[in-house]
């Protein structure tokens, strides 16, 4: 197991220590070799990210079939729900010789994960080797699952770094991060916190008002980062503020890393013009089934074939296809033919040689939008930043915010059979910690939440 996984339960204790102590411990920690911090699996995955870029299509296919058979065999042997569904569908993992053989394998939905987590998780992976995580994703449908300690987190780190290096990232780079950090629960509180374990400056995603944006710019200038890592919505607020004020960006950057929200090409051009560096986009999700990122020299999203196996549903009226994935390596809760609820427009070049890699590729990701709650003081709180990864929404089938005036929001929730009203107090405390003190919040139980035209749940219904 990696040192990161061993220390993760102590993170909240570390964050309560005095700042000088955190700096001293953090500096010592980041000086440790990556193989100690992230574990023995990290260098293995890092080598894999380097090797796969040189593989031909046949080598990629052979690797994917090997990993597919491994995860299918494990699920059929140690995951009760998969055993039942494979038997009912007449699906036999040992017969899988190619992607076409998966068509008889049942698909998995978020509702399945909500209702049957225990049966979808492996009886062979002990509790001590699991890490429980939840996500509302882009839909407001809370789902919980297990990652495999010593595998899932070092794998994610290796692949993220591999993509970021296309935009100028390097080992030991100093980053300013604006991605969901709660630096203060007060609307007028501090916007910054220094992470000594990585030498990164963490800036709040919850205090981005016109009045306070100069504070953000000053903090970034003082820190002198190599890269900026931000939600697209946060980066756009900074860029638009600079243009309105007639100011220029004064910190040389190697790159701007923008993930977790949809960033359109016109918005990307605005960020590139203001920040004077490459803006890099990628697509992934908390369940860690599949991962895609822009190429070295193009804006096409390439799906890593060694991260997971990706399929695409039939095209809808707009030509978009749902992303369906099978996870590799995480045997704690293997996700097989998992319907993500996200849609892409596939790249269809007239000449395949125009693609950088012989991998599945998309030119557009129609995933999580840039959605905001607006506080009484005009703070725009990204719903992406609001996404919870703990057990606070366990027992709820769906959650949704409704807003029709600044500073006032209604939290709608659709309870499942295991939910009890006594959980509401803890939910309210957790929500208020992120919303801050300039919100009036009410709760309402509903029998259904509003959906998009495609039938997808919505995190936010805003009438502003």
Q: How many residues does the chain have?
A: 464
Q: Can you tell me whether residue 63 is helix, strand or coil?
A: helix
> pLDDT digits over 444-457, tens only?
998 887 766 555 66
Name the average pLDDT for the chain.
89
pLDDT at position 164? 98
Mean per-residue pLDDT for 281-293? 95
Only one residue has tokens 């590729």, namely: 361
Residue 137 has pLDDT above 70, yes or no: no
Phi, psi of 137 (to 5 degrees): 55, -145
Q: Taken in order 96, 99, 102, 103, is the CA torsion positive or negative?
A: negative
pLDDT at position 174? 97
Q: Can you tell me whether residue 94 is helix, strand or coil?
A: helix
C-alpha span between 448 and 450 (Å, rounded): 7
Q: Which residues of 407-432 are buried (b: 16+ CB within 10 A; e: fewer)?
A: bbbbbbbbbeeebeeebeeebeeebe
C-alpha span between 391 and 345 (Å, rounded): 33
Mean per-residue pLDDT for 223-248? 93
The domain segmentation of the chain, as residue ranges, is 372-462
How many beta carbons lie within 10 A of that of residue 316, not counting itself?
13
> pLDDT digits over 10-57, tens only?
777 887 888 888 889 888 988 888 888 888 999 999 999 999 999 999
Mean per-residue pLDDT for 126-132? 93
Only one residue has tokens 């040192």, namely: 3
How many beta carbons lie within 10 A of that of residue 464, not counting itself?
9
Q: Can you tell me whether residue 461 is helix, strand or coil?
A: strand
CATH pick for 372-462 out of 3.30.300.30, 3.30.450.20, 3.40.190.10, 3.20.20.30: 3.30.300.30
> pLDDT digits over 365-405, tens only?
886 666 778 888 888 887 776 666 667 888 887 788 899 99
């Amino acid at each position: 197991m990696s040192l990161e996984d061993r220390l993760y339960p102590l993170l909240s204790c570390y964050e309560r220590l005095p700042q000088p102590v955190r700096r001293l411990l953090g500096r010592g920690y980041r000086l440790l070799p990556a193989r100690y911090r992230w574990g023995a699996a990290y260098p293995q995955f890092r080598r894999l990210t380097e090797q796969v870029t040189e593989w031909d299509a046949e080598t990629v296919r052979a690797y994917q079939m090997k990993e597919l058979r491994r995860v299918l065999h494990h699920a059929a042997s140690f995951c009760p729900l998969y055993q039942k569904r494979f038997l009912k569908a007449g699906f036999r993992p040992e017969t899988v010789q190619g992607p076409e053989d998966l068509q008889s394998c049942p698909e998995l939905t978020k509702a399945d994960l909500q209702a049957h987590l225990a049966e979808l998780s492996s009886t062979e992976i002990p509790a001590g080797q699991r890490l429980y995580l939840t996500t509302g994703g882009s839909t407001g449908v809370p789902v919980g699952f297990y990652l495999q300690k010593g595998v899932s987190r070092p794998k994610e780190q290796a692949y993220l770094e591999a993509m970021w290096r296309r935009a100028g990232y390097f080992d030991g780079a100093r980053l300013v991060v604006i991605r969901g950090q709660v630096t203060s629960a007060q609307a007028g509180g501090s916007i910054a916190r220094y992470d000594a374990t990585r030498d990164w400056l963490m800036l709040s995603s919850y205090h981005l008002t016109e009045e306070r944006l100069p504070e953000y710019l000053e903090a970034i200038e003082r820190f002198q980062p190599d890269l900026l890592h931000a939600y697209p919505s946060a980066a756009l607020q900074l860029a638009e503020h600079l243009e309105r004020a007639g100011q220029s960006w004064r910190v040389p950057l190697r790159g701007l890393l923008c993930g977790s929200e949809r960033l359109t090409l016109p918005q990307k051009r605005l960020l590139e013009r203001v920040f004077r560096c490459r803006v890099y986009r990628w697509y992934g999700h908390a369940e860690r089934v599949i991962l895609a990122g822009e190429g070295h020299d193009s804006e096409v999203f390439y799906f890593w074939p060694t991260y997971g196996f990706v399929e695409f549903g039939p095209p809808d009226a707009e030509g978009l296809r749902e992303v369906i994935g099978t996870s590799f390596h995480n045997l704690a809760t293997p996700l097989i033919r998992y319907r993500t609820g996200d849609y892409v427009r596939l790249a269809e070049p007239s000449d395949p040689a125009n693609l950088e890699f012989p991998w599945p590729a998309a030119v557009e990701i129609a995933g999580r939008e840039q959605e905001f709650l607006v506080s009484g003081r005009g703070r725009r709180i990204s719903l992406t930043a609001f996404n919870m990864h703990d057990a606070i929404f366990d027992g709820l089938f769906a959650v949704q915010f409704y807003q029709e005036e600044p500073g006032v929001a209604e939290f709608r929730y659709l309870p499942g059979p295991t939910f009890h009203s006594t959980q509401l107090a803890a939910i309210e405390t957790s929500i208020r910690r992120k919303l801050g003190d300039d919100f009036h919040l009410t709760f309402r139980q509903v029998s259904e939440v509003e959906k998009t035209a495609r039938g997808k749940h919505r995190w936010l219904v805003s009438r502003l």
